[in-house]
Amino acid sequence: MIIGVGIDVVQVDRIERALARTPTLADRLFTPGERESTRSESLAARFAAKEAVAKALGAPGGLRWTDAEVVNDPSGRPRLVLHGGVADEAAAQGITTWHLSLSHDGGVATAVVVAEA
């Protein structure tokens, strides 16, 4: 059963400017593993995924950006790993499976998330 769906779109240059303006922002938004990618498109897509997760959960307060982590499985497919408050909220809602799709083209990054029980 689908519990929630989230989608988000981010301008890649907006992320580039924000990270250049505030160098410590990357530490607040991205996990160490996510920060290994220095490609702006990749970081923008991961930011969009975090926003999409929050939307799928119904945008509850108190969530930390780094509690939703985008990792790649051995084939390169992105998947979500949840920690802390995001994991707690997902468990409280009965969410057991997450589906994630990321894309970027033409200076825009997007993410779609489906939360399933």
Residue 38 binned pLDDT confidence (cut-offs 50, 70, 90) = confident
**pLDDT tens-digit readout, 46-96:** 999 999 999 999 988 889 999 999 999 999 999 999 999 999 999 999 999
**Average pLDDT taken over every residue of the chain:** 96
**Distance in angstroms (rounded) separating the CA atoms of residues 94 and 55:** 16
Ordered by start, the domain boundaries in the chain are 2-116
CATH architecture assignment, domain 2-116 = Alpha-Beta Complex (3.90)
User: 57 or 37, which is more confident?
Assistant: 57
Helix, strand, or coil here: 58? coil
Q: Which of 64, 81, 63 is nearest to 72 (CA)?
A: 81
**Distance in angstroms (rounded) separating the CA atoms of residues 112 and 98:** 10
Question: How buried is 14 (Cβ within 10 angstroms: 0-12 exposed, 13-18 middle, 19+ buried)?
Answer: middle
| pLDDT for 61 | 83
Bin 94: left if φ > 0, else alpha if -120 < ψ < 50, else beta. Answer: left
For the ranges 4-18, 52-66, 90-104, the lowest mean pLDDT is seen at 52-66
Bin 34: left if φ > 0, else alpha if -120 < ψ < 50, else beta. Answer: alpha
| Whether pTM exceeds 0.85 | yes
